[in-house]
Amino acid sequence: MNTQALNIGEKSARLPLIQGGMGVGVSLSGLAGAVAKEGGIGIISTAQIGFRESDFESDAKKANLRAMVTELAKARTLAARADGSCDGLLGFNIMVATKDYGDYVRTAAEAGADVIISGAGLPIDLPRYVEGSTTKIAPIVSSEKAARILLKMWDKHHHRTADFLVIESAHAGGHLGFSHETLSHLYDEDFDPNYDQEIQKIISCTDSYAKKYNTTIPVILAGGIRTADQIRHALSLGASGVQIATPFVVTEECDAAPAFKQAYLDAHAEDIHIVTSPVGMPARAIQNPFLDKIAAAKEPITKCYRCLEKCSPKTAPYCITQALIRAVKGDTQNGLIFCGDNAAYLTQLTTVPALIKTLFPV
């Protein structure tokens, strides 16, 4: 496959590939550094990133902010050649729904992140938090309406536009920007062709702001992509690159425990379900005894880690922080295992270089 570099302003990655951010703890320095070393953009998830820090239980935010700096530094070391150069870029995925969102964005920019990708809500104030830095920023959107609203607000209030933009389809993992009703039609024959039209509308909207600011805004497609043919299709729609997450879970370099990776390898299509997260959003996860248990009764919440703005311990059916940490540490029977719907096609453990070679064959 003939591919062009992904240029985001003055920053560049050799491959038009972003490794999607996955939390808690699934995409940290190990995975992100390996992807950047191969010429892609490695993304570290900030979602409870400090869960392994000694003071996480007493001050999760402090542990998280400190871990952001150390994980980025470790990723840069892993990605660098002997001469210190690197073919790729490194950055963070920071959810808008994160409590104290602005503090996380400022920390990422001050640490020298090349990029910040932000979804789970519209990142209206993201430009303000990175002002004065060289960090490039991208919103995640799933509709032309969301792209139009967000880019209009950045134009009006911040007098700038996006450096790049990620379109996440309904095939993605974790929290999804679609209603349960829409997701119920995902495998209808006309769903994906119709969404291709939506993608082209988003690209057209983005291009109008690129023209206004006399720049280029690369548009990246995400959600369910796992093959070279799917990448070719994305590029044929006018995208500048792709974001891929789920297939990177079953790499040796992924930061999750072996049992977490095995849960992906064991999953069949019928095991992957749309669930409702504690913040009321649809999300995609692998069915397991934990989901069976919380479907029958709430799991008592003994501590709030203040991770998400709209999560209340009084009404939440379980603590999403604890559930995700249990899973990433390997307790897949009692944890929440987010995934994309392409997890059903993953059958063997691989490495980041080997996976990238299948995605971008020479």
Mean pLDDT on 134-150? 97
Residue environment code for 222-261, b if the CB has 16+ CB neighbours within 10 A, otherwise e: bbbbbeeebbebbbeeebbbbbbbbbbbbbebbbbbebbb
Contact (CB, 8 A) for 268 and 51 = no
Q: Is the pLDDT of residue 269 over 90?
A: yes
pLDDT digits (tens, 9 = 90+) for 300-352: 888 888 887 777 888 889 999 999 999 999 999 999 999 999 999 999 999 99
- How far is residue 334's CA from residue 163's CA, in Å, rounded to a whole number? 40
Q: Pick the more confident residue, 344 or 3.
A: 344
- Any idea how long the chain is? 362
Mean pLDDT of the chain: 95
Label the pairing between strands 272-276 and 165-168: unpaired
Mean pLDDT on 134-151? 97
pTM of the model: 0.96
pLDDT digits (tens, 9 = 90+) for 81-135: 888 889 999 999 999 989 899 999 999 999 999 999 999 889 999 999 999 999 9
Contact (CB, 8 A) for 342 and 171 = yes
The angle, 0 to 180 degrees and rounded to 10, between the axes of the packed helices 228-236 and 352-359 is 50
Mean pLDDT on 247-252? 98
> CA of 58: how far to CAs of 19, 90, 266, 312, 359, in Å?
31, 29, 36, 19, 42
Contact (CB, 8 A) for 76 and 88 = no
Q: What is the dihedral of CA 45, 50, 56, 60, to 10 degrees?
A: -50
- How far is residue 267's CA from residue 346's CA, in Å, rounded to a whole number? 8
Q: Is the pLDDT of residue 263 over 70?
A: yes
pLDDT digits (tens, 9 = 90+) for 45-54: 999 999 999 9
- How far is residue 157's CA from residue 317's CA, in Å, rounded to a whole number? 38
Task: Tell me what percent of the residues of the chain surpass a pLDDT of 70.
Answer: 99
- How far is residue 135's CA from residue 129's CA, in Å, rounded to a whole number? 10
> Which residues have a Cβ under 8 Å from the Cβ of 324 and sit 6 or more positions away?
23, 24, 25, 47, 48, 335, 336, 338
Give the pLDDT score at 23.
Answer: 92
> Which residue, 101, 106, 164, is CA-closest to 137?
164
Give the pLDDT score at 1.
Answer: 66
